[in-house]
Amino acid sequence: MSGAIELDNLTLGYDGHPAVHHLSGTFSHGSMSAVVGPNGSGKSTLLKAIAGVLRPLEGRIVQAGDRRQAMAYLPQRAEIDRSFPADVTDLVALGLWKWRGLFGAIGRHDIKALEAALQAVGLVGFERRGIDTLSGGQLQRALFARVLLQDAKVILLDEPFTAIDEKTVSDLVGLVQRWHGEGRTVIAVLHDAELVRQIFPQTLLLARELIGWGPTETVMTRENLRRSRGMTEAWDEHAPWHEDGHGHSHEAAQ
């Protein structure tokens, strides 16, 4: 069904080196899922692959319908180039490109949609502000307006609430809940376990491989979270030495 996404023995990585191993499972149509896990556990990698900007090393992602029309992807903020000379309207209107193409006409209906999107995120009056002058929260609001305009069946958000003010978080959480209510499939990487438990019915817990995937309360257990931390450390070649039996200790040298 359109909006459902199936991962089939998916292995993802960079330059042929696996970063996330053997993921299988389904995001069902209209579901709202949090992707959680320690730093470096592969959350952004998974979102990139679902968005189609990273090709799997192994396995496949199956989605019904036209993927380009059906998906909106908001990358992690660190990956967004704010020095690009653009104002809020330019940034938000990028959401229309998917439909119109780069040189397609933007009509009166589009202008109305754009105004409505800015209204929905509380950025009326900011139309001509350069994006380099926005606060983190304002930039995130503009990016949410862009997602709104895309009117996508599947919405992918990578850490949408990290390092922004409380008021913005609560406004944007409201938008995510609205999308869910409209039957869209929402997949979001989150750090705040409390927010995950409050808002997200489904959770996928990652630590370079799947630790758990299903109803949030069954996945976000203390035992699973402990396991996920341990596993990421085991994979991380840069993790500091722990305990003994592995030669010298960094602690001893500090």
Contact positions toward ligand ADP, by CB under 6 A? 14, 19, 37, 39-45
Q: Is 203 in the site for Mg ion (CB under 5 A)?
A: no
Question: Rounded to whole angstroms, how far apart are CA atoms 57 and 4?
Answer: 22
Q: How far is the CB of 198 from ligand ADP (least distance, A)?
A: 21
Residue 14 or 241 having the CB closest to ligand ADP? 14
Provide, rounded to whole angstroms, the least separation between the CB of residue 45 and ligand ADP. Answer: 3
**Distance between CA atoms of residues 146 and 100, nearest Å:** 14
Token readout for 135 is: 């606060």
Place of tokens 């499939």: 185
CB nearer ligand ADP, residue 44 or residue 138:
44
* Partner interacting with residue 153 (select from Mg ion, ligand ADP, none; CB below 5-8 Å by kind): none
* Secondary-structure breakdown of the chain: helix, strand, coil percentages, each rounded to the nearest 5: 40, 25, 35
- Ramachandran class of 65: left when φ > 0, alpha when ψ lies in -120 to 50, beta otherwise: left
Handedness of CA 214, 218, 222, 226 (dihedral sign): negative
Nearer to ligand ADP, 35 or 142 (CB): 35
From Mg ion, ligand ADP, none, interface partner of 45 (C-beta below 5 to 8 A by class): ligand ADP
Written as one string, the DSSP assignment of 60-89 is: EEEEBS-HHHHEEEE--GGGS-TTS--BHH
Smallest gap from Cβ 93 to ligand ADP, in A, equals 28
The DSSP bridge partners found for residue 131 are none
Q: Does 228 bind Mg ion (CB under 5 A)?
A: no
Of positions 33, 41, 44, 140, contacts Mg ion by CB under 5 A: 44
**Least Cβ distance, residue 40 to ligand ADP (angstroms):** 4
* Rounded CA separation 148/142 (Å): 10
Q: Confirm if 104 and 186 have CB atoms less than 8 A apart.
A: no
**Nearer Cβ to ligand ADP, position 39 or 83?**
39
39 binds, among ligand ADP, Mg ion, none (CB under 5 to 8 A by kind): ligand ADP
Mask: binding to Mg ion, 71-110, rule CB under 5 A, as x and -? -----x----------------------------------
Asked if 45 touches Mg ion (CB under 5 A), the answer is no
Q: What's the closest the beta carbon of residue 186 comes to ligand ADP, in angstroms? A: 18
CA nearest to 63, candidates 4, 150, 22: 4
- Point out which residues bind Mg ion (CB under 5 A): 43-44, 76
